[in-house]
C-alpha cells in the first residue's frame, strides 16, 4: 500500500508497455514495471547487485555531468574474462573497453576530438542528401510484404557507416553481420556461441581495418580512417578501437530507433498523416520515440573518489546505474509520461543519448537517419501494417525489434 500510495502521489499510472499491443510474440519481458517499482522506492535505490540505481531524470542528468564520476570497463558487467582473443591466439582490440566510450579524461577528450569533425552540424547538412537517397532507394525497392528490420531499418545505418569509413561499395551484409556480433561487447556476452561469433567478427573487422589503414596511408580520402591516419601520434590500437566504436555504437542503436519508430506509428495511427506530410513533425516524432521507447535503456557511472551525492555516500569504484529509459518516463519532468505526444513542449529533454562528456556523438546523425527513414517509408506505404509475429531483442541494454513483418500498398 505504501508503494501504491507513493506511486499515486507521483501521479503515475502503471499502464504497462504502450507498444505491447503491436508486439504479438515476444521473448522480451517488458522492463518498465520493474523500473516503476524501483521508482516507487525512491530516487536513489540500493541494488542487490551492489550499487545505486536511479530512475530520476534530474539525478541521472546530474550524475552524467558530474566529473567526480567516470566510466569503467565493460568487464564489470560481463561474466567472462574481458580479454578478447582471435582464433590464432592474438589479443584483439576491444571496441568498447579500448575506445573513448569507456575512457575517462584526459584520454576521452583527446580521442573524441579526432572524430568530432564528422559529426558537426555542417557535416550532417552535407550528409543529408546521401541519407535521403539511401532511404528512397531502399523504400522504392520494397515489395508489398517485407521485414521492416532486415529489409529496411538495417540498410540505412549500415550504408551511412560504410560512407563514413569511405567504403560505400563494401559488402553491407558482411558489415551488418560484424556489427550484430560485435554489439555483444556492449550488450554483455551471454553464451560461448556469442563469444565465438564476437571474436571471429572482431578478428575479421580488425583485418579489414588494418588493410583500409594501409590503403588510406597511400591514398587518403575524406573519410574517418584517412583523417585518423594523418595523426602520427595516434597508436594503432586507438585508431582501430575508435573506428570500430562507430560501428558498435552507431549500428544496432539506430536500427532499433527506426524499428521502434515504425512500431510507434502503428500504435498511434493519428501520427501517420503529419509524419508523411511534414518533415518537421517527423523530427519531433523521432524525439518522442527516443523518449518513450529508447534503443539504449541504461548506462553506468562509477565514483572516482569518495563522495556524497543525492543523499548517499559513495566509495571509489561504487557504481550508479542510470536507468535512462525510466528517466525518460519520470513524471516530475514529463507530464502524463506514458502518453505518446510528439508535440509535448519538453520532448527534447529525454536522456536517450545520455548527457555530459559522453553524450552520443552520433545523436544528430541518428536523428537525421531515423526521421528520413520513417518519413520515407510511410510516404511510400501510407497504410503499412504489421503482418506477422514481431520478435523483440531479448536484451536489458538494447531494446528494439529483430523481426518486424509488415505489409502495405505502395503509393505511386
Q: Binding residues for ligand HEM, per CB under 6 A? A: 71, 100-101, 112, 245-246, 249-250, 253-254, 257, 294-296, 299, 352-354, 358, 360-362, 365-366
Residue 361 Cβ vs ligand HEM, minimum distance, rounded to whole Å? 4
Nearer to ligand HEM, 296 or 314 (CB): 296
For residues 6 and 396, which CB has a smaller minimum distance to ligand HEM in the complex? 396
- Among residues 266 and 296, whose Cβ is nearest to ligand HEM? 296
* Minimum distance from residue 109 beta carbon to ligand HEM (Å): 9
Q: Is 53 exposed, middle or buried (0-12, 13-18, 19+ CB in 10 A)?
A: buried
Min dist CB 44 to ligand HEM, Å, is 18
Angle at 134 between CA 202 and CA 372, to 5 degrees: 105
From the CB of 300, what's the least distance to ligand HEM, in Å?
Answer: 7
Residue among 282, 259, 252, 324 at smallest CA distance from 59: 324
Instruction: Enumerate residues 6+ apart whose C-beta is below 8 A from 41.
Output: 3
Shortest distance, position 324 Cβ to ligand HEM, whole Å: 6
List CB contacts of 97: < 8 A, sequence separation 6 or more.
Answer: 73, 74, 75, 82, 185
Alpha-carbon distance 257 to 161, whole Å? 16
Closer to ligand HEM by Cβ: residue 40 or 71 = 71
CA 61 to mean position of chain CA atoms: 17
Nearer CB in complex with ligand HEM: 47/313 = 47
- Nearest CB to ligand HEM, comparing residues 142 and 249: 249
Size (the chain), residues: 412
**C-alpha torsion 44→48→50→51, nearest 10:** -20
Residue pair 366/253 in contact (Cβ under 8 Å)? The answer is yes
Which residue has cell 559513495?
Answer: 314
Helix H segments across 42-154? 57-65, 107-115, 121-140
Residue nearest to ligand HEM (CB): 362
Kindly report the CA angle at 302 between 300 and 304, in degrees rounded to 5? 155
Do the beta carbons of residue 292 and residue 268 sit within 8 Å? no
Toward ligand HEM, which CB reaches closer, 54 or 253? Answer: 253
Question: Least Å distance between CB 257 and ligand HEM?
Answer: 4
Q: Give min distance, CB of 359 to ligand HEM, in A.
A: 7
- Nearest distance from residue 70's CB to ligand HEM, in Å? 10
3-state helix, strand, coil in the chain (%, to 5): 55, 10, 35
Return the H-helix or E-strand segment holding 273.
helix 272-277
In the complex, least distance from residue 158 CB atom to ligand HEM, rounded to whole angstroms? 11
CA distances from 215 to 75, 174, 209, 221 (A): 33, 20, 10, 10
In whole angstroms, give the CA distance from residue 382 to residue 272.
7
Cβ proximity of 64 and 322 under 8 Å = yes
Compare residues 299 and 328 and give the one whose CB is closer to ligand HEM: 299
CB of 101 or CB of 162, closer to ligand HEM: 101
Strands 145-147 and 405-407: antiparallel
Q: Nearer Cβ to ligand HEM, position 13 or 359?
A: 359
Shortest Cβ distance from residue 117 to ligand HEM (Å)?
A: 13
Amino acid at each position: 500500500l505504501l508503494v501504491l500510495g507513493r506511486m499515486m502521489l507521483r501521479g503515475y499510472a502503471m499502464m504497462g508497455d504502450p507498444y505491447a499491443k503491436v508486439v504479438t510474440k515476444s521473448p522480451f519481458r517488458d522492463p518498465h514495471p520493474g523500473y516503476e517499482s524501483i521508482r516507487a522506492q525512491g530516487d536513489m535505490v540500493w541494488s542487490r547487485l551492489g550499487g545505486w540505481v536511479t530512475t530520476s531524470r534530474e539525478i541521472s542528468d546530474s550524475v552524467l555531468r558530474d566529473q567526480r564520476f567516470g566510466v569503467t570497463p565493460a568487464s564489470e558487467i560481463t561474466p567472462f574474462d574481458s580479454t578478447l582473443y582471435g582464433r590464432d591466439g592474438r589479443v584483439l582490440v576491444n571496441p568498447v573497453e579500448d575506445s573513448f566510450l569507456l575512457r575517462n579524461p584526459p584520454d576521452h577528450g583527446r580521442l573524441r576530438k579526432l572524430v568530432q569533425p564528422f559529426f558537426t552540424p555542417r557535416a550532417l547538412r552535407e550528409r543529408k542528401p546521401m541519407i535521403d537517397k539511401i532511404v528512397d532507394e531502399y523504400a522504392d525497392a520494397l515489395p508489398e510484404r517485407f521485414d521492416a528490420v532486415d529489409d529496411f531499418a538495417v540498410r540505412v545505418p549500415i550504408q551511412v557507416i560504410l560512407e563514413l569509413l569511405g567504403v560505400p561499395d563494401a559488402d553491407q551484409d558482411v558489415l551488418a553481420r560484424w556489427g550484430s556480433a560485435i554489439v555483444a561487447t556492449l550488450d554483455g556476452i551471454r553464451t560461448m556461441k556469442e563469444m565465438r561469433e564476437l571474436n571471429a567478427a572482431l578478428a575479421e573487422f580488425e583485418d579489414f581495418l588494418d588493410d583500409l589503414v594501409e590503403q588510406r596511408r597511400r591514398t587518403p580520402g575524406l573519410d574517418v580512417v584517412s583523417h585518423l591516419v594523418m595523426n602520427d601520434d595516434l597508436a594503432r590500437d586507438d585508431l582501430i578501437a575508435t573506428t570500430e566504436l562507430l560501428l558498435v555504437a552507431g549500428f544496432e542503436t539506430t536500427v532499433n530507433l527506426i524499428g521502434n519508430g515504425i512500431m510507434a506509428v502503428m500504435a498511434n495511427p493519428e501520427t501517420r498523416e503529419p509524419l508523411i506530410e511534414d518533415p518537421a513533425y517527423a523530427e519531433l516524432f523521432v524525439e518522442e520515440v527516443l523518449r518513450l521507447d529508447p534503443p539504449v535503456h541504461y548506462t553506468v557511472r562509477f565514483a572516482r573518489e569518495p563522495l556524497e551525492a543525492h543523499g548517499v555516500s559513495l566509495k571509489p569504484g561504487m557504481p550508479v546505474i542510470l536507468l535512462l529509459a525510466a528517466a525518460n518516463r519520470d513524471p516530475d519532468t514529463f507530464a502524463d509520461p506514458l502518453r505518446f505526444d510528439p508535440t509535448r513542449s519538453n520532448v527534447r529533454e529525454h536522456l536517450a543519448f545520455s548527457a555530459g562528456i559522453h553524450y552520443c556523438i552520433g545523436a544528430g546523425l541518428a536523428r537525421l537517419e531515423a526521421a528520413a527513414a520513417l518519413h520515407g517509408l510511410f510516404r511510400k506505404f501510407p497504410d503499412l501494417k504489421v503482418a506477422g509475429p514481431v520478435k523483440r531483442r531479448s536484451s536489458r541494454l538494447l531494446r528494439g525489434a529483430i523481426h518486424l513483418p509488415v505489409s502495405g500498398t505502395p503509393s505511386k
